[in-house]
Amino acid sequence: MSRFKRLVAGAFAVLLMGLIAAPLYAQLPANLRDYPLAQFQKSGDLVAPFFDGWIDNGDGSVTMVFGFMNRNTDEIVDIPLGPNNYIRPVQFDGVQPSHFPVYRRFGLTGIRERGAFAVTVPAGMAGTEIVWTLSHAGHSYSVPGRAASIAYEMSSAVRALGSLNPGVQFTPGGPEGYGREGVMGPRVNASVGTPVTLSAFVRDNGERAGYDLDSNYFPVGTEWILHQGPAMARPEFEPQSTLGRNRVQAGEGGDSDWTEVTTQATFSEPGEYVVRLRVDNFAAPDSRFDNQCCWTNGYIPVTVTP
């Protein structure tokens, strides 16, 4: 069979499958149409919590990492903290996002947002399940985080070409954050409609010495993301993301290793917000979002008044 005929036959088969699938989908009971493997909807579809994995911290404690999936193709969903968005045990509640954007990434990541937050379970509670529940549009899903299966165990160790989670701090010499749990910055006060500067200090912690690379350094990328906020609030960040800043390798020059990054945030609604800063090393060949390496979260609480 010629290549042209094979292409025509393939296209016809795909068309035929579509013509058959559509009527069959319409005949399904409503509860089966809403099954997670059903077709995506523009709005009114589910938002699901995901347990991404756990990290053994070496001292008996474990860190549980969570993300989410918004199945809507158009609807950006807000689920306030409370009866439709909570974590149990209650002592770990409140760090999860309330804002769920629409993502259209390629590859294995797709519409998933990985590592949006994490919680550390103390050594005395290491066997405790951390359960995150989300309810939206008639759907309710709970996901347990547990340090039980090695299939979900992740590592913070150095990667094949030296990549590690970047560092984040909000004041020079202040607390440093590494990994998904990251660090919380000081509260920022802002007014509706007036740009306010959000800033942090970041650095690449990669151990590049001894590797046969064209360069020992890779660009550190940053992205500012709304983590929590009032329903339907859509702050603007300028810039929202950066890549390729000048920096030096960790361990050379002490505090001078840290590079300041800023964005101008404009809020259209008053209320309490949390802005997440994701600092990544995705430009390195051994660091990928799909593989949960290597990035660090930083969080800035913002109070916006009229």
pTM: 0.83
Give yes or no: residues 194 and 300 share one domain: yes
**The pLDDT value given to residue 34:** 56
Mean pLDDT, range 125-135, rounded to an integer: 94
What average pLDDT does range 12-16 have in this prediction?
42
- Among 43-52, 86-95, 235-244, 255-264, which is the least confidently predicted range? 255-264
Domain boundary among 119, 154, 189: 154
Please give the mean pLDDT across all residues of the chain. 85
As a whole-number percent, the residues of the chain with pLDDT over 90 amount to: 62
Q: Residues 126-135: what's their mean pLDDT?
A: 94
83-98 tens-digit pLDDT = 999 999 999 999 999 9
Q: Is residue 182 part of a domain?
A: yes
Is 42 a domain residue? no
Residue 40 lies in a domain: no
Same domain, 54 and 116: yes
Question: From CA 235, how far away is CA 255, in angstroms rounded?
Answer: 32
Average pLDDT, integer, range 234-247:
78
Residues 217 and 246 in one domain: yes
196 and 122 belong to one structural domain: no
Please report which confidence band the pLDDT of residue 253 belongs to, taking 50, 70 and 90 as the band edges. very low
68 shares its domain with 193: no
When mean pLDDT is compared over 30-39, 134-143, 211-220, 283-292, the highest value belongs to 134-143
CATH number where 130 lies: 2.60.40
Residues 150, 171, single domain; the answer is no
151, pLDDT greater than 70: yes
Within a domain: residue 38?
A: no
Residue at 159 is within a domain: no
Range in 101-110, 112-121, 293-302 the model is least confident about = 101-110
Task: Look at residue 263 and tell me if it is in a domain.
Answer: yes
For residue 251, name the pLDDT band (cuts at 50, 70, 90). Answer: very low
- pLDDT at residue 161 greater than cutoff 50: yes
What's the total number of domains in the chain?
3
pLDDT band of 21, cuts 50, 70, 90: very low
Does residue 201 sit in the same domain as residue 257? Answer: yes
| Residue 139 scores a pLDDT above 70 | yes
Residues 18 and 58 in one domain: no
pLDDT above 70 covers a percentage of the chain that reads: 80
Same domain, 129 and 173: no
- On whether both 145 and 70 belong to a single domain, the answer is yes
Q: Is the pLDDT at 213 greater than 80, yes or no?
A: no
Look up the domain containing 116 and give its range. Answer: 47-154
Same structural domain, 181 and 301 = yes
| CATH number of the CATH domain containing 174 | 2.60.40.10
48 — pLDDT class (breaks 50, 70, 90): very high
**Domain identity same for 72 and 171:** no
Whether residue 91 is contained in a domain is answered as: yes
Per-residue confidence (pLDDT) for residue 99, from 0 to 100: 98
